[in-house]
Structure 1
Amino acid sequence: YTEAWDKDKTQIHVMPDTPEITLSKQNMQNYSAYKYKEGYRKQLGHHIGARNIEDDPKMVWSMHVAKIQSDREYKKAFEKTKTHFSSPVDMLGIVLAKKCQELVSDVDYRHYLHQWICLPDQNDVIHAKKAYDLQSDNCYKSDLEWLRGIGWVPIGSLDVEKAKKAGQILSDKVYRQPPDTIKFTSVTDSLAMVLAKHNAETMNKV
């Protein structure tokens, strides 16, 4: 009997739901909360806060630095690899770009004529000059320049005959014909002639 008690007396058997254990746990929790809030109670009245983050310059600067650092870390890999670019030469996009460049290129589109020298008295040169003169605007318009200002009316047309008739009607020579050009004869024993002679004699006597 005592042997079993001697073995068991060195071991402690505690029931977790005893009032003493429950009270001890509660006191430990209260003491921990008190120690946790002790630093907060000491800082009360020593710090002036802001309404939001934008009102605090230090917080704004911290956010700006964090943003810059984040962008720098984000772009670090890109900055390292942006100059190292390789693409296959037979890629469809590159082939199409080369084809479009060939179509748009001005080098293959324009084929400049070669420079050559010929004698001015060659038959083909003379013939070319003659053909060029015939096709030239100056030679083409030379007849027109010569005829410019020269009036031309067909003889015997209605307008020409009207102009001639009007000129004859308005002509002073035709309207007033001199008497010496008119051939006429008068009767010497007519009443008018006898009276004229008698008056002439009377005037002479006076």
Structure 2
Amino acid sequence: MRIFQEIKNMSHDYCVPPKRRTEIEILAAAWREALRIPTTCQAPDMIGVLENEMPRLFGDFALVVKDDYQMDGAEGYTEFDPPCVVLSATSYQSAANFEGRGRWTAAHELGHLVLHKSAVPLDRAPIRYSKMKELPAFASAEWQANAFAAAFLMPEALVRDFFEISEIMTFFAVSRSAAENRVKNLGLSEQRPIPPQVRAAISNLHNMTGIPKPAR
């Protein structure tokens, strides 16, 4: 049964058990460990994860690649019976080339697979949600899958070593929008802070050389 389908920038949302971002961060870290991704790895091979590591954990799991014309405009989708992630040929090649768009699609679909077997359409959602035009983020399958992809591809502990969007894009092999959203959601600043001891050393150097001091 096909549950989740990503169509360009649009998707069909489903109601899922509520999860906070912090809970999803913990789950993403646990799945990285289960999939044998080193804690220091900044850009795991998403195709290798889906083709090699997932079948090791789930013998009946499969990564399926379909020609773009067979996907009805979708970049990827997830099935549960049997467990399966389907990627368009374009998304597969993008992920294989360590391009941000394809890697995000692969991680997003992995998030659906490990988080959302109990998802239901909005019209079958609990009554507190069923009359809403859209789901609150914490109960939205799409929001949760995006939060999972961000945490899986850009673990907080590693992202905090970087302070420039371009660095995050390069080292984690993600798109600019993904990097910017991650920095924003973690409450980080793109401006690189200068530790006091470094500022003091710079000040001393400028005093010795006569170079104007940096603005405080």
Global fold match (TM > 0.5): no
Task: Identify, as 1 or 2, the structure richer in strand.
Answer: 2
Pick 1 or 2: higher relative contact order, CA cutoff 8 A, min separation 6.
2
Per the normalisation by structure 1, the TM-score is: 0.16
Per the normalisation by structure 2, the TM-score is: 0.16
Greater Rg by CA: 1
Task: Identify, as 1 or 2, the structure richer in helix.
Answer: 1
